[in-house]
Amino acid sequence: MPQQAGADAGAAGTPAERHSLVELADWRRRVADLYAAIRLEALTDPEAAWRRWRDTREALYRSHPQSPVPAPDRATFRATHWPYDPGWRFEVPVEVEVEVDGTGNADAAAASPLGGALGIAMPVSTGGAERLERIGSVTVPFEAGPRRLGLFWMSGYAGGLFLPFGDATNGRETYGAGRYLLDAAKSADLGPGAGAGSLVLDFNFAFHPSCAFDPRWACPLTPPENRLDIPVEAGERLV
């Protein structure tokens, strides 16, 4: 979901900047309400939840002042998605990884606030990098065979789980730098699976980062380990 370059770097000075922050708060509230609704609806009807998600997001992108779509293009904006396919919905356990510290002591590393998570600097579309913590991974049982994806925690901004991914559709049907599946800092969270320590990963809900629509938005880019060698023909597309 949108993250404007510089928008979260402290209090805004001008009245226009302060008004923009009020609009941003409203955007986050609406997105949070949307994901709360789809998590509940998906328990019994994942496809209906997806339709709600698709239609509500399109309406927000067309009308909301914090839409990532440039203002001149909003009135005619139409979202494009692959049809819903239940074969792209998974419940997978999180494989938490413990970092061994410099002394070889895994217990000391595990005692850190993020349980020994591995800090990385993930490149951002507008330049520079954002620090994230790699807290583990998930193994997704795709039809083409299992693939592992790194799972991250956003240290700055608002915190939260973050799962970006790239695939063989990038640069053609989808944005070249990949898409997001989870971005809990901005409420894009599909919730836990039935098993303890598991997550719902439904690639029908994959969406583009805001920088796919307008380069003024700052978006963390998919790291190499999360670039899949298979096409994920599910979720949001550009064409």
Report the number of distinct structural domains present in the chain. 1
The answer to whether residue 198 is domain-embedded is yes
Q: What pLDDT sits at residue 117? A: 54
Phi, psi of 28 (to 5 degrees): -60, -40
Which one has a higher pLDDT value, 165 or 4?
Answer: 165
Q: What pLDDT sits at residue 100? A: 42
| Average pLDDT taken over every residue of the chain | 87
Q: What pLDDT sits at residue 103? A: 41
Which one has a higher pLDDT value, 212 or 8?
Answer: 212
Tens of pLDDT, residue by residue over 180-221, are: 999 998 899 999 999 999 999 999 999 999 999 999 898 988
Domain holding 33, by residue range, is 15-237
As a whole number of angstroms, the distance between CA 132 and CA 121 comes to: 6
Tens of pLDDT, residue by residue over 110-140, are: 433 344 456 777 767 777 767 789 999 999 9
pTM: 0.85
The answer to whether residue 179 is domain-embedded is yes
**In a 10 Å sphere around its CB, with 0-12 CB exposed, 13-18 middle and 19+ buried, how is residue 47 labelled?**
middle
- Give the number of other CB atoms < 10 A from CB of residue 48: 13
DSSP 8-state code for residue 73: G
**Among the listed residues 125, 190, 183, 134, the one whose alpha carbon sits nearest the alpha carbon of residue 157:** 183
- Give the number of other CB atoms < 10 A from CB of residue 49: 24
- Work out the average pLDDT over 24-47: 97
Which one has a higher pLDDT value, 234 or 102?
Answer: 234
Asked which of 84-93, 106-115, 127-136, 144-153 is least confident by mean pLDDT, the reply is 106-115
In the three-class reduction of DSSP (H, G, I as helix; E, B as strand; rest coil), residue 111 is classed as coil
Amino acid at 233: E
Asked which of 67-76, 131-140, 154-163, 170-179 is least confident by mean pLDDT, the reply is 154-163
The answer to whether residue 200 is domain-embedded is yes
pLDDT exceeds 90 at position 172: yes
The answer to whether residue 10 is domain-embedded is no
- CA pseudo-torsion sign 114, 43, 39, 54: positive
pLDDT band at 108 (very low <50, low <70, confident <90, very high): very low
In the three-class reduction of DSSP (H, G, I as helix; E, B as strand; rest coil), residue 100 is classed as coil
The answer to whether residue 4 is domain-embedded is no
As a whole number of angstroms, the distance between CA 171 and CA 169 comes to: 6
Which one has a higher pLDDT value, 92 or 154?
Answer: 92
Q: What pLDDT sits at residue 157? A: 60
